[in-house]
């Protein structure tokens, strides 16, 4: 008797799988945005827990920043032959933005790893954890902004309409922190060597980015032109110093935002389902 064997093809077309992954990533994003009360609460709570029992609380970060500004200003103002009145506002505004960006990038590498208990126990959108981290650093940024207020009053920094550019500038920085944070969160979960690598790169970037030194010292240098951090720092620094960022700065930051956001979302859609298995 002849046996007949039926083979059932259960292969799913590749494009359907990709569409499904993209759809789930979009749902994750919008679900995270809708849960804004949760990630803002978690961000606040992170700061409370970190400084529980401390007299100054999160203002220890601000105090530390003030000490660094004083130390750098005393040394570098003489090194670059600038007056204290000129150097302190310049370094303060640049360092204020640098702390926001560098801390956000450094801590992003461990976002999913540190939230592994929550991820395994509660079903929440993954992007929510990145938003939580970014929000935490935005709060710290506004704490640190008190240092700028003191410096602005003491050195009589001109405050004019240009300061309004801080709003769209900060928005672009936050969007890029979320995008870069999502990329680093995924890579840091998969490869545990990523955090120390990023921390080392951040230390190097501090010295090759015009934070403590003026970009005019190296005009048209590749270190300036091809350094994305230079443009993002100017988005906030220039308005805080009473100047409007030029269109080269705006266009460069917008282009970086589009590219980085696209890369982060594609990467997230591709590896989203792997996150629980990597942590």
- For the chain, what is the largest distance between any 2 Cα atoms, rounded to a whole number of angstroms? 101
The confidence score (pLDDT) of residue 27 equals 94
The confidence score (pLDDT) of residue 15 equals 54
The confidence score (pLDDT) of residue 3 equals 43
DSSP string, 122-144: S---HHHHHHHHHHHHHHHHHHH
Per-residue pLDDT of the chain in tens (279 residues, 90 and over written 9): 444 344 334 454 555 556 788 899 999 999 999 999 999 999 999 988 877 766 666 677 788 889 999 999 999 999 998 999 999 999 999 999 999 999 999 999 999 999 998 898 889 999 999 999 999 999 999 989 999 999 999 999 988 999 999 999 999 999 999 999 999 999 999 999 999 999 999 999 999 999 999 998 888 889 999 999 999 999 999 999 999 999 999 999 999 999 999 999 999 999 999 999 998
278's enclosing H/E stretch is helix 275-278
pTM of the model: 0.90
Domain range for 134 = 22-277
Q: Is 238 helix (H, G, I), strand (E, B) or coil?
A: helix
The confidence score (pLDDT) of residue 16 equals 55
Q: What angle do CA 102, 105, 108 make, to 5 degrees?
A: 145
Distance between CA 240 and CA 238 in Å, rounded? 5
Q: Residue 204: inside a domain, yes or no?
A: yes
Q: Residue 145: inside a domain, yes or no?
A: yes
DSSP string, 68-128: HHHHHHHHHHHHTT--HHHHHHHHHHHHHHHHHHHHHHHHHTTHHHHTHHHHHHS---HHH
Assess contact for 276 and 120: CB atoms under 8 A: yes
Domain count, the chain: 1
Q: Residue 57: inside a domain, yes or no?
A: yes
Encoded tokens for 10: 């259960």
Q: Residue 11: inside a domain, yes or no?
A: no
The confidence score (pLDDT) of residue 1 equals 42
The confidence score (pLDDT) of residue 220 equals 84
Q: Residue 7: inside a domain, yes or no?
A: no
Q: Residue 15: inside a domain, yes or no?
A: no
Q: Residue 193: inside a domain, yes or no?
A: yes
Q: Residue 68: inside a domain, yes or no?
A: yes
The confidence score (pLDDT) of residue 53 equals 66
The confidence score (pLDDT) of residue 8 equals 37
């Amino acid at each position: 008797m002849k046996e007949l064997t039926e083979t059932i093809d259960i292969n799913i077309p590749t494009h359907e799988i990709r569409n499904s992954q993209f759809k789930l990533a979009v749902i994750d994003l919008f679900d995270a945005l809708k849960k804004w009360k949760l990630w803002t609460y978690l961000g606040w709570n992170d700061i409370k827990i970190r400084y529980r029992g401390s007299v100054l609380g999160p203002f220890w970060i601000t105090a530390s920043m003030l000490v660094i500004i004083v130390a750098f200003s005393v040394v570098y103002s003489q090194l670059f032959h600038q007056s204290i009145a000129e150097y302190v506002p310049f370094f303060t505004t640049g360092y204020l933005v640098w702390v926001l960006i560098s801390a956000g990038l450094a801590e992003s590498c461990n976002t999913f790893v540190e939230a592994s208990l929550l991820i395994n126990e509660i079903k929440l959108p993954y992007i929510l954890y990145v938003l939580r981290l970014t929000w935490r650093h935005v709060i710290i940024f506004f704490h640190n902004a008190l240092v700028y207020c003191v410096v602005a009053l003491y050195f009589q920094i001109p405050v004019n309409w240009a300061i309004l550019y801080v709003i769209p500038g900060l928005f672009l920085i936050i969007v890029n922190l979320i995008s870069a944070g999502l990329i680093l969160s995924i890579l840091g979960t998969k490869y545990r060597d990523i955090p120390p690598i990023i921390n080392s790169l951040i230390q190097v970037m501090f010295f090759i980015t015009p934070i403590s030194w003026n970009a005019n010292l190296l005009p048209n240098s590749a270190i300036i032109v091809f350094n994305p951090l230079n443009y993002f720092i100017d988005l906030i620094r220039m308005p805080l110093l009473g100047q409007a960022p030029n269109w080269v700065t705006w266009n460069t930051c917008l282009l970086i935002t589009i590219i980085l956001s696209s890369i982060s979302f594609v990467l997230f859609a591709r590896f989203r389902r792997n996150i629980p298995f990597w942590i």
